[in-house]
Structure formats: C-alpha cells, structure tokens
Amino acid sequence: MISKKLFDIVPQLLSEDRKGLENPTIQHLAFDSREVKNKTLFFAIKGNAGDGHRFIDEAISKGATAIVLESFPSVINKDVTYIKVSDARKALAVSSDLFYDSPSSNIELIGVTGTNGKTTVCTLLYQLFSNMNIKCGLISTVKYAYAEVVENATHTTPDPIKLNALLYRMVQADCDIAFMEVSSHAIDQKRIDQVVFQGGVFTNITHDHLDYHKTFKAYLNVKKKFFDSLGEKAFAVFNADDKNGEVMVQNCSARKIPYSLLTMSEIKGKIISNSIEGLQMMINNQMVFAQMVGRYNAYNLLAAYGVALELGVDPERVLVELSKLRGAEGRFEMVRGEKKKVFGVVDYAHTPDALQNILSTLQSLKKPNSELISVVGCGGDRDKSKRSKMTVIGLQLSDVLIITSDNPRTENPESILDDMESGLDETVDNLIRITDRKQAIKTAVKMAKSGDIILVAGKGHEKYQDIDGVKYPFDDKKILEDFLLIQK
C-alpha cells in the first residue's frame, strides 16, 4: 500500500514541472515499485529564516534517496534521485495529498479564517456536532481531536504532511466532518494547497502578523486567497459587519452566507442582554441563551449557527445545542477568587482588536466602584508595531494596566516592554511595569479588592513560556488560580 502511494508521487511531481529534468546526468526516474519501500523523499524548502537546500547533504547522509528541490546542487550523488520543481512547497502539498490518498476529498472539511475567533468558532462547531453524536474532527490552535484521540497542537494550521496525516486518520476513524483553523501563514506557505474544503468561514480581519506579511493589504489578500479557491459546491459564511467581509468573498464561487448584528443579513443576530452569566440573543428571530460573554462571542455564535445550517442541522436543534456550549480553552476562561470575591479572566487576546474587545466587555460587566486590573504582554520576534497600540488600549480600558513579559522568544523582554511604552507621551499613574510574568500576576491579585476583575491576556491556553528557544512550564490560569486561592 505504502509503496504504491510513494511510487505514484514521482510521476505526479514530474508532471508538475519538467523544467530542469532533462539533464541526462540526473537519475530522475530511478524509482522501482518493487524497491521503493526503502526510498525516502526529502523536500528542500526555502523559508524566511533558512533554505532547505543547505541540508541536502545531511538528508542524504541520514538516508534520503530522493530530493525534491528548486535548484540542483553543484555536486550530484549518482545514487540519489533529484526531482527539480518550480515550487517545492507546492510539491510537498501535492505529495502529502497523494501519500495519504487525498483525505480531504473523503470528509466534509470546513475551514475557518480571520484574525480573531477562529479557535472559538471551530471549537463550538466541534462540540456542537460531537454532542449530536456525529463523528467529527478538530484542527485548532489549542488541540487536534477526533474519535477518542486528543493531541496538543503545535501550529494553528499544521504543515502539509501533518495536516494530511490528521485528515487521513479522521477518515479512517469514520469522521464525517472536520473543522479546521486556516492561518494566513498556512495559506501563504501553501500548507493547504491540494486540500479540498466544503465550506469556509470569515470571522474578521484586524491588525496582526505584519512582521510576516509587511502590509495590511498583503495580509488581507492572503486571507482572500482561501475564499477565492472555494469551489461552486462549497459555501462561504462571512461576517458582513466587518468592513472587509464583502471584499473577502467578492471573487468567491461558493454560495455566500452573510451573518450580522448590525444590518439585515441571511443570519441575523441581536443581543438582548450581556452579563457575566452569558449572552441572551436573538438569532433569526429565535431566542437563545449562551454560556459565553461579549459581543465578539455573539459573532462567533452566529458563524457557528450559519455553518451548522449549511451542514443540514435543523435551526431549532442548533440553538438548543449552542446554549450548552462553553467555548474554547483559554478564551474568556473564568477563575473565581472566593476569599477576596475577585473575578479573574484568562484570555488569548494578543492583538489590539482582541484586547479591545475583551476589555470593553469586562468594563461593561464590572460593578460600580470596582476596578479592572489587566496584565498584558507582547510576544517577541513578532509584529513590533502593535506593541504600543496594545498599551494605549490597555490604559484606556483598564483601571490599572500591568505590562509584562509574554513569550519573549529570542528578544530581550525589557526591549519588548520599552516598545510597549514607546507610544506614551508622559508618565501615567495607572501603568505598572513588571517583567516577570508570574510576579505581574501576583501583583494584580494583591492589588485587587472584593468585586474587582483581573484580566490576564496574551497566552490563553498555552502551558509554557518561550524564552531563548526553550519552552518553560507556565500556565496563566493555574498561576492565577493559585494566587487567588492563597490571598485573603
């Protein structure tokens, strides 16, 4: 079975791009179906930080017998097959799809993209269909899940090999549907090329990943490629209240289903009440109470509702199931401090828009004379331009803002905090700078009095802190719970 799959990959790659394969000194057809079990393909991928062509010799020394590359090395190994293609990333996507028998063609795959809300929408849908005893899979920032299997996620969208392997295992486990986050990096790096989507969801698009995409226009255009690629039989559920919603789907061949809180739309929502207990809202003139908080979660619920309807679920059944759901780990996770009567929230908010959304929600929920204390950081080796913006938002919408370390990665944490303070014209009384994240959370708890709200933002579900390439154990929720437990 495996040998046939691998043998089939070679002619497919040759047909993708024959340029450069006519050199008679290159063994480009050295595969034999009887011996191919011992063959190993290495893909020389050119990336932003490195070039896989530099590791070809090392790959051969470790057993690679075939190399997919974009340019030939100066020295040719006569025992190795070299397959030159115009785009090695595309070749990897093609090969991964072939190797795993095109799994996305055998499952209803729904992709969710946008700056914020991807994890929540995918998780809501996965929980909803699982609760209805429909076998489904989940590929999200937090975890990969199907049947009884749960794995911690390594990327929002995995590489083509991991992605197709996951989809293959979901098909083998008789999953009918899979819900998958689609990141802008994955689209740009062709991780989802060859993947067939039955539906797509657009949540919103705001300031993020400009360290990678350089401009907002480039970021938007990459997201748009996902919808441009949807087929006529697919559907596209999109946020009509986002100013770029219509732009995102304007060239999309799929059936378009808009959802909205502000205008008339195919999926129309209206918030009746928003409290710490949850949301009461109307969806297409039907009342529903959801155990989730905030306007942004109302949008997430509308997106999930729209997808469920497109997948054939009765509208009333969808509303019943939505009322049971609690959202994703690390997204508005509540921690109650019973001794001090303090209310804590852990959230993944790491963009200006996401931070503004959750702080605005918490400000609307807090009681008179209570305070909102926010602990906020920015990741290292990422978009620097959002750092000062997040500080300004934090100061505007918090009574006390503590800026601290997030995942500094290879950057100096102090330099990151300097960037966060760079947009301030003068010293402000409600800003505290504490580099040590654990100490920052402890300080917030010490400052809080009965009725106050503490927000710890930026890391959400993550159970580590990335410092100089080493991931040290660190869990915002557990640390906040522990300090709230011991404080009187």
201 and 307 in contact (C-beta within 8 Å)? yes
Handedness of CA 20, 23, 27, 29 (dihedral sign): positive
Residue with structure tokens 């154990």?
A: 473
Q: Cα–Cα distance between 392 and 429 in angstroms, integer?
A: 13
Position 28 scores a pLDDT of: 39
Q: For residue 386, count other CB atoms closer than 10 A to its CB.
A: 25
* Domains of the chain, start order: 2-98 (3.40.1390.10), 103-322 (3.40.1190.10), 333-486 (3.90.190.20)
Q: For residue 246, count other CB atoms closer than 10 A to its CB.
A: 13
Which portions of the chain are predicted below pLDDT 50?
A: 1-4, 7, 16-37
394 and 354 in contact (C-beta within 8 Å)? no
Position 34 scores a pLDDT of: 35
User: Beta strand pairing status for 333-337 and 342-347?
Assistant: antiparallel
Q: Cα–Cα distance between 307 and 225 in angstroms, integer?
A: 20
Q: Residue 231 is encoded by which pair of tokens?
A: 């087929």
Characterise 460 by phi-psi region: left (phi > 0), alpha (psi -120 to 50), beta (else): left
Q: Residue 359 is encoded by which pair of tokens?
A: 């702080």
Q: For residue 2, count other CB atoms closer than 10 A to its CB.
A: 9
Closest CA to 404 of 370, 371, 444, 366: 444
Q: Cα–Cα distance between 280 and 273 in angstroms, integer?
A: 5
Name the amino acid, one letter, at 426.
E
100 and 106 in contact (C-beta within 8 Å)? no
Q: Residue 403 is encoded by which pair of tokens?
A: 């800026």
Half-sphere exposure of residue 188: CA atoms within 13 angstroms, side-chain side: 16
Q: Which residues contact 381 (CB under 8 A, 6 or more apart)?
A: 211, 409, 410, 411
Per-residue pLDDT reduced to its tens digit, 241-288:
999 999 999 999 999 999 999 999 999 999 999 988 899 999 999 999
Q: Residue 164 is encoded by which pair of tokens?
A: 């197709």
CA angle 417, 419, 423 (to 5 degrees): 115
469 and 325 in contact (C-beta within 8 Å)? no
